[in-house]
């Protein structure tokens, strides 16, 4: 696989290689679970990955709103998700271990969407640094957000010379 394929985030079948490669598994866990159950699901996935490979970096779960609704067909019918517990684990593994990780996450019914991509150690560590940076930023509440009128926007654009 060429370096460009790694950078583009293209998914590939890597089950046949013997050398270790770095992957990042990102996943959405059912938002209706209690936080402790979601954490247990995350820990089980992390431990499963650590059992077949080595963890390079990780981002513990946090509840997030989704940019769009994700639907999943279940036994009782269709289920829509507008939020999720999001987590990720970057890991190093050979082809057989990578396949085991994919089978493990596919079997976890509390995960309703996941993405597994090849990455680099540096890329994974940078993602962990950015995760920590954003986690430390204070969240703005709706009351703190400043309302700006159309007149104020027009004046600011005129001042900027646009």
pLDDT in tens, 112-155: 999 999 999 888 888 888 877 777 777 655 455 566 777 887 88
DSSP secondary structure code for residue 85 in this structure: E
Give the HSE-up count for residue 160: Cα atoms under 13 Å, Cβ half-sphere: 7
Give the distance from CA 51 to its chain's centroid.
21
Q: How far apart are CA 162 and CA 160, in angstroms?
A: 6
pLDDT in tens, 58-108: 988 999 999 999 999 888 899 999 999 999 999 999 999 999 999 999 999
- The more confidently predicted of residues 136 and 37 is 37
C-alpha closest to that of 106 among 15, 27, 14: 27
Domains along the chain with CATH numbers:
3-160 (3.30.70.60)
The answer to whether 94 touches 17, Cβ cutoff 8 Å, is yes
Residues 14-23: b if buried by 16+ CB within 10 A, e if exposed: beeeeeebbb
Question: What confidence category does residue 16 fall into, taking pLDDT thresholds of 50, 70 and 90?
Answer: low
CB within 8 Å of 48: residues ≥ 6 apart: 100, 101, 104
Task: Record the pTM.
Answer: 0.72
């Amino acid at each position: 696989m060429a370096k460009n394929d790694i950078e583009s985030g293209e998914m590939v079948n890597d089950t046949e290689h013997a050398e270790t490669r770095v992957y990042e598994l990102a996943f959405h866990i059912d938002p209706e679970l209690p936080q402790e159950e979601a954490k247990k699901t995350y820990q089980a996935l992390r431990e499963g990955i650590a059992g077949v490979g080595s963890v390079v970096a990780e981002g513990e779960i946090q509840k997030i709103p989704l940019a769009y609704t994700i639907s999943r067909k279940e036994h009782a019918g269709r289920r829509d998700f507008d939020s999720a517990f999001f987590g990720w684990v970057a890991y190093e593994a050979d082809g057989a271990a990578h396949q085991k990780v994919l089978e493990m996450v596919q079997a976890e019914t509390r995960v309703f969407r996941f993405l597994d991509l090849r990455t680099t150690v540096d890329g994974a560590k940078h993602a962990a640094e950015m995760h920590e940076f954003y986690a430390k930023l204070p969240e703005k509440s709706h009351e703190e957000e400043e309302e700006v009128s159309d007149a104020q926007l027009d004046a600011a654009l005129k001042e900027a010379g646009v």
